[in-house]
Amino acid sequence: MEKIVDLLKDTSIPRFIDEEVRPFRNLMLEYRCALKEVETKFDVLSDEFSLKYNRNPVESIKTRLKSPNSILGKLKRKNLPLKATSIEENLNDVAGIRIICSFIDDIYDLVSMFTRQDDIKVIEVKDYIKNPKENGYRSLHLIIEVPIFLTDCTKNVRVEVQFRTIAMDFWASLEHEIKYKKNVNSKEVYDELRELATINHNLDVRMQNLRKSVELK
């Protein structure tokens, strides 16, 4: 919460944000609850899958709540009102969960197990594994709504779920580091990262084929 206090000192942000502090806090609480709900669902799927098939499809799970600075930055970039209701209506990625899987097939299995749950409403699917981004980025993104049960009501809350293999996550993490932290933007670096993405994908495919051939033996 200190961060929102810092933001109040930023004169470029209109003063009416004062009255938005409480709704903003409530909204963040809802996003935190939604993340817990979704994380539990993947813990359950992973536990049962492990028991059934004797291997774990989920390598790790990371959750993150977008920082107040990034939220306000995104609202400003999109020329949207700096209000809690505007966050709720327009931003899909305030609550984010990343599921890192061992193999590509595990991603599609988990997506199908997760999205057929009765209380999950799929809003959007972006399959950057089948259709990688121009720069080579691969991952499968879902925007979903999950109900959370509060003291006096039930609310459907949006969460972005990203599925990656270990290899995809390795590439994306380093690409993010190189691109944003070091602020490098040359064609040489872009081409190299793109080529590495292809090598990375081939690695994923070969690992998966190897697992399948070992399972058949």
Q: Are 172 and 211 in contact (CB under 8 A)?
A: no
Among 55, 62, 176, 206, binds ligand 0O2 (CB under 6 A): 176
CA 156 to chain centre: 17
The single residue among 100, 172, 193, 197 that binds ligand 0O2, judged by CB under 6 A, is 172
Select from 36-44, 135-143, 185-193, 208-216 the region that touches ligand 0O2 (CB under 6 A): 135-143
The answer to the question of residue 126 lying near ligand 0O2 (CB under 6 A) is yes
Does 175 bind ligand 0O2 (CB under 6 A)? Our answer is yes
The total number of residues written for the chain in this structure = 217
Residue 110: which of 124, 118, 119, 100 has the closest Cα?
100
Distances (CA, A) of 100 to 35, 139, 200: 16, 10, 15
The CB-of-198 to ligand 0O2 minimum distance in angstroms stands at 14
C-alpha span between 140 and 172 (Å, rounded):
12
Question: Are 5 and 25 contacting, i.e. CB atoms less than 8 angstroms apart?
Answer: no
Count the site residues for ligand 0O2 by CB under 6 A.
11
Which one, 55 or 133, has the nearer CB to ligand 0O2? 133
User: Between 11 and 131, whose beta carbon lies closer to ligand 0O2?
Assistant: 131
Backbone angles phi, psi at 101, to 5 degrees: -110, 165
62 binds ligand 0O2 (CB under 6 A): no
Query: Residue 30 or 169: which CB sits closer to ligand 0O2?
Result: 169
Q: Using CB under 6 A, list all residues that contact ligand 0O2.
A: 92-93, 96, 126, 133, 135, 137, 141, 172, 175-176
